Chains A and B, each alone.
Chain A
Amino acid sequence: MTATLEKPPPPLEKASLKHRLAERGVDRTLWLLVPGAIFVVVLFLYPVLYGLQLSFQPKDGGGPFGNYIKFFSDPYLRDTIWITLRLGLPAALINVLASIPIAFQLRGKFRGKRTITTMLVVPITLGTVLTAQGLIEYLGRAGWFNRVLLTLGVDEPIRLVHNYWGVLFSLVITGFPFAFLLTLSYLSGIDPSLEQAAATLGASRRDRFRHITLPLLAPGLAITFCLTFVLAFSVFPSAIMVGEPSGETHVMSIAAYETAFRDFDYSLGAAVAMLMALVMLAVIALVLVWRATLYRGATGGKG
Chain B
Amino acid sequence: MSTGAARFAELHIDHVQRAFGDTVALRGMDLTIKGGEFIALLGPSGCGKSTALNCLAGLLPLTGGKITMDGKRIDDLPPERRGFGMVFQNYALFPHMSVRRNIGFGLSMRKVGKTELNRRVDEAIKLVQLTEHEHKFPAQLSGGQQQRVAIARAIVLEPPLVLMDEPLSNLDASLRLEMRTEIRRLHQSLGLTTVYVTHDQEEALALADRLVVLRLGEVQQIGSPEDVYAHPTNAYVAGFMGYRNMLRVTVESVDGENAVVTGEGVRLAGVNRESLPSGAAAVAAVRPEDFSLVVPNAASTENTVSAVVEIVEYHGREQAVEARLPSGEQLHVRTNSRLAPGDTVQLRVPVERVLIFAEGSSS
Residue numbers of A with Cβ under 8 A of B are 191, 193-194, 196-204, 207, 211-212, 215-216, 295, 297-303
Contacts and interface: CB of A to CB of B under 8 A. Distances in A.
B105 A215 contact: no
A196 B83 contact: no
Nearest to A192: B92
Contact of A201 (B59, B153, B163): B153
A194 B90 CA distance: 10
Nearest to A204: B80
Contacts of A193: 88, 90, 92
Interface residues of B, number: 33
22 contacts: A193-B88, A196-B59, A197-B92, A198-B94, A199-B79, A200-B79, A200-B82, A200-B85, A201-B80, A201-B85, A202-B110, A203-B80, A216-B95, A216-B96, A295-B96, A297-B95, A297-B139, A300-B95, A302-B93, A303-B137, A303-B139, A303-B146
B141 A303 contact: yes
Given A200-B80, A202-B83, A298 B95 contact: yes
B90 A200 contact: no
Given A297-B96, A303-B93, A199 B80 contact: yes
A110 to B, nearest CB: 12
B47 interface: no
Contacts of A303: 91, 93, 95, 137-139, 141, 146
A301 B84 contact: no
**Interface residues of B, dominant DSSP:** loop
Contacts of B163: 200
Contacts of A198: 94, 105, 109
Contact of B90 (A199, A207, A297, A302): A302
A221 B278 CA distance: 72
Residue among A193, A194, A197, A215 with max Cβ neighbours from chain B (10 Å)? A197
Given A200-B84, A202-B110, A295 B105 contact: no
A201 B157 contact: yes
A199 B85 CA distance: 10
A211 B109 CA distance: 10
A246 to B, nearest CB: 49
A298 B139 CA distance: 8
B80 A202 contact: yes
Interface of B: 57-59, 78-80, 82-86, 88, 90-96, 105-106, 109-110, 137-139, 141, 146, 153-154, 157, 163, 170
A29 B92 CA distance: 38
A201 B94 CA distance: 12
Contacts of B90: 191, 193, 300-302
Contacts of B85: 200-201
A295 B153 contact: no
Contacts of B153: 197, 201
A18 B290 CA distance: 62
A216 B157 CA distance: 25
Nearest to A296: B96
Nearest to A193: B92
B92 A191 contact: yes
Given A196-B59, A199-B78, A201-B153, A301 B106 contact: no
Contacts of A194: 92, 94-95
A302 B146 contact: yes
Nearest to B143: A302
B2 to A, nearest CB: 21
Given A200-B80, A200-B85, A295 B95 contact: yes
Contact of B57 (A200, A204, A298, A301): A200
Contacts of A207: 109
A202 B96 contact: no
Given A197-B88, A199-B59, A201-B105, A301 B96 contact: no
A219 B139 CA distance: 18
B61 to A, nearest CB: 13
